Amino acid sequence: MYKLALFYIVVGTITVVLATAFPSCKPCDCYDDNGTLISKCIHLGLTKVPMTIPNNTNHLIMKKNNLSHICNNSFERFYDLRLLDLSYCIIKRIDENGFAGLWNLDILILNHNQDLGFRGLGKAIFGLRNTSLRIIKANSIVRHYAVCVCIDTLMAGYFKETRIEEIHVNDNRIEFAEPHALSLLPSTLKTIIAKNNRFTIGPYLSEVSNLSNLEVLDFSGHMLEENLTIPIPNSNYSFLKDNFQVPIVDYTKQPEIVYSKDLEPPLVFPPNLKILRIQYYDLAYQVTKIALGPNSLKNVDLRGNVLSRWIGPISGVENITDLNLSQNFCLKIYPEFFDNFTSLQTLEMSLNNLQLSLAMDGNGSIFKSLSSLVNISLAENKLRYLPENVFIGLKKCQFLNLSHNLLDHRVFISLQLMNNLQYVNFSHNHIDWFHSTFRKQLEMAGQRSGNLTVDLTDNPLMCDCDNYYFLQWLVSTPYVQFYNIDQYECYFTNGTRTYLSQSEQIFAQLSKTCHSITGQIITVCCCILGILSLVLGAFVYRFRWKLRYLYYFRNSKTIRHQTDDDFEYDAFISYSDDASLFVDQTMKSKVEQEAGLKLCLHNRDFLPSLTIAEGIVTAVKSSRKTVLVMSPDFIKSYWCLYEMNMADMESQHTGRDVLLILLYKHIEYDKIPSTVMYQIKSHTYIEYPDENNDSDAMVTFWEKFSKAIKSP
């Protein structure tokens, strides 16, 4: 009874104290959070600020109410207010002194008041001149379908007498700013977050350099994983990630970013800008020679664009330490691109398509200048093979991420100069074992750094006699730690699998099996001939198009072309019967007669002395382009597909961009063979307009088509 009475006394005392300290502020909820008095009035349908809220409130949160009109001096009684959140309040008007008296206000949040607009925002700031306001968040304060949203001088002028350090204006469809408007922003400004807008190139961009204290600038667009994901229903393409789809972009005709060192760059960066983010903004360029002006850039994030070729060199990037170029659908890196990134420490290049560029970099020229690089990621780049010396220039590298690729046991990269290597991520590849030479490389790297971890998660490790010594090395080497090794799955030849946590049982079973196979050697030898025959047959089938191409190439008298003048035809037209009338009448008229180009047509230009197959190879090699006129009968035609594959082999063999695809008639998606779909997604294509379109559309189409044929 004594303890119960004491409990009621304590509870009563606390209740009285709280009631005295915080009188009822209904309908709101008021409470103390470590010395900060917070008043929450969320989703209550309020049309004005309740008088029950304590005057000494520090944080006032009034989200999702109906405060359509903020009158003058509406908040002046809150003498110590530091955060005011008026998001989703259907605000249409704020009087010029609506926030007057809030001398200690630090953060003002006006998000998602779409009738407020930037003029209304400017008036709201008028009453906060010479206050301590540091952060303002005005995301989505214009209508979703507003056009020509402009930052004008009148609105920007209201900010001039403030000490704002951080501005958030995301999702406002801003397109440009009036001359001198950006120069009116306060000199104290350090951060601008302006994501998901519609900025255009214009003279106003040069005024950004006047923001002398700006350190963070974010012009990012919509996030790819939220808005641009295109699911793939065809299981034949399951190796592609859902968030890594090939965009409908003509890579070969992208504009180039080229700035001469002799000219002033079109955009001069603020002198103290350190972080620049332009993510998912649909920048579609080939990045060639660029000269940037003086800057202090440290962190540049360009992920989620379409910068498909990195050519370079780029000057003015000597201070950058972090660079993100992931998800740019890049097809090629040139050796000069990274020459001036001498301070780069973190390089993110995941979700590109860099297999060909890296596979051909036998002397390590791409990364040769990145001597300061610590962390590099090449995840999800469809890498199948890496040359031994591709990373030889990364002497300070500590973290190497090669996960989610197609690497197998042939992986062998030199680690001799990587004295600081600490982590190599090979997870989610096709590695079933390491060659003994590469094992020694890993051991030596582990000895030099003293702490090397390798991740082989989700690789198909084999539990067979050939792999016996590799598995022993895996669980016993003292120089390399394998991340989460107990969860590695090991596959037996009979199809069963087990985890490496059962290593003792695995080795006992393998030891018994491997010592009993002597009697099977004769049988195995008898099977070798059959197996070799199957392998040879599979090899011939796998490379059937390559072998056919090389056979006819050897017999062909056509030489490899060096210039456009060497080609006998501008384009070889591959088409089926259902497109013959279109080709013979319309295309010949528009391309040969009007555009002055010379076409190669099989029914007109093939030599009768050649076989069909040899005539196709000769036509492909004698033409600058091979045009595939896609129609329903095309994908059913053996010779059309033969012409497509020969043109593809010509591209691979000579390095020329040969294929040009014309989508003439609609084809059901699920009826398109995987080989044809691959070519559509990998090469330039042009869609034939609806015949009901106006004549201007047709004229534009034929001009683009002729221009595409003449492109290198």
* Average pLDDT, rounded, for the chain: 83
Does residue 596 register a pLDDT over 90? no
Query: Taking residues 499-526, what's their average pLDDT?
Result: 72
Confidence of residue 222 (pLDDT cuts 50, 70, 90): low
Q: HEC profile for 274-290?
A: CEEECCCCCCEEEECCE
Worst-scoring range by mean pLDDT, 348-352, 382-386, 463-467?
Answer: 463-467
**Residue of 383, 301, 304, 374 lying closest to 344 (CA atoms):** 374
Residue 16 has pLDDT above 70, yes or no: no
Q: How confident is the model at residue 42 (pLDDT cuts 50, 70, 90)?
A: very high
Tell me the longest C-alpha to C-alpha distance in the chain.
116
What integer pLDDT is reported at residue 230 of this predicted model?
33
In which order are the strands placed within the sheet that holds 569-574? 599-600, 569-574, 623-630, 659-663, 685-687
Confidence of residue 18 (pLDDT cuts 50, 70, 90): very low
What pLDDT band is residue 237 in, cutting at 50, 70 and 90? Answer: very low
- Region 123-129: mean pLDDT is 89
Amino acid found at 302: L
At residue 30, does pLDDT exceed 80?
yes
Residue 669 — pLDDT band, cuts 50, 70, 90?
confident
pLDDT over 70 (residue 559): no
Q: What is the pLDDT of residue 358?
A: 95
Reported confidence tier of residue 458, pLDDT bands at 50, 70, 90: very high
Please state at what angle helix 521-542 crosses helix 544-555, rounded to 10 degrees: 60
The predicted pLDDT at position 207 comes to 85
pLDDT at 546: 66
The predicted model gives 637-648 an average pLDDT of 85
pLDDT tier at 516 (50, 70, 90 boundaries)?
A: low
Parallel, antiparallel or unpaired: strands 623-630 and 659-663 = parallel
pLDDT for res 232: 36
Asked whether residue 438 carries a pLDDT value surpassing 80, the answer given is yes
**Please, are residues 650 and 683 in contact by the beta-carbon 8 Å criterion?**
no
State pTM to two decimals: 0.64
Task: Categorize the per-residue pLDDT at 238 as very low, low, confident or very high, splitting at 50, 70 and 90.
Answer: very low
User: Residue 14 has what pLDDT?
Assistant: 41
pLDDT of residue 104 exceeding 70: yes
Residue 59 pLDDT level (bands cut at 50, 70, 90): very high
Averaged pLDDT, 405-428? 93
Give the pLDDT of residue 32. 95
Q: For the segment 168-179, what is each residue's pLDDT rounded down to a tens digit?
A: 999 999 998 999
Helical segments of 391-488, H only: 436-449, 468-476
pLDDT of the residue at 95: 92
674-679 contacts at long range (C-beta below 8 A, 24 or more positions apart): 674/234, 674/236, 674/237, 675/641, 675/644, 675/645, 676/630, 676/635, 676/641, 676/644, 677/234, 677/237, 679/628, 679/644, 679/648
Question: How far, in Å, CA of 284 to CA of 286, rounded?
Answer: 7
Per the DSSP assignment, residues forming a β-bridge with 310 are 287, 333
Residues 288-304: pLDDT tens digits? Answer: 888 888 899 999 999 99
Decide if pLDDT at 233 tops 50: no
Give the burial string for 75-109 (b: 16+ CB within 10 Å, else e). Answer: bbebeebbbbbbbbbbbeebbebbbbbbeebbbbb
Q: Among 11-20, 44-53, 81-90, 602-611, which stretch is predicted with the lowest mean pLDDT?
A: 11-20
pLDDT category, 351, cuts 50, 70, 90?
very high
Average pLDDT over residues 311-331: 94
How is residue 307 annotated by DSSP?
Answer: E
The 10s digit of each residue's pLDDT in 176-216 is 899 989 989 999 999 999 999 988 878 888 888 889 999 99
Using a pLDDT cut of 90, give the percent of the chain over it: 46
- Name the pLDDT band for 612 (thresholds 50, 70, 90): confident
To the nearest whole percent, how much of the chain has pLDDT over 70?
85
Range in 53-67, 239-253, 332-346 the model is least confident about? 239-253
* Residue 30 CB-density burial (10 A; 0-12 exposed, 13-18 middle, 19+ buried): buried
Average pLDDT over residues 241-247: 37
Confidence bin at 543 (pLDDT 50/70/90): low
End-to-end Cα, the chain, rounded Å: 96
Mean pLDDT in residue range 310-314: 92
Going by C-alpha positions, the residue among 417, 421, 431 that lies closest to residue 474 is 431
Highest mean pLDDT among 411-420, 586-595, 682-691: 411-420
Residues 373-387 have a mean pLDDT of: 95
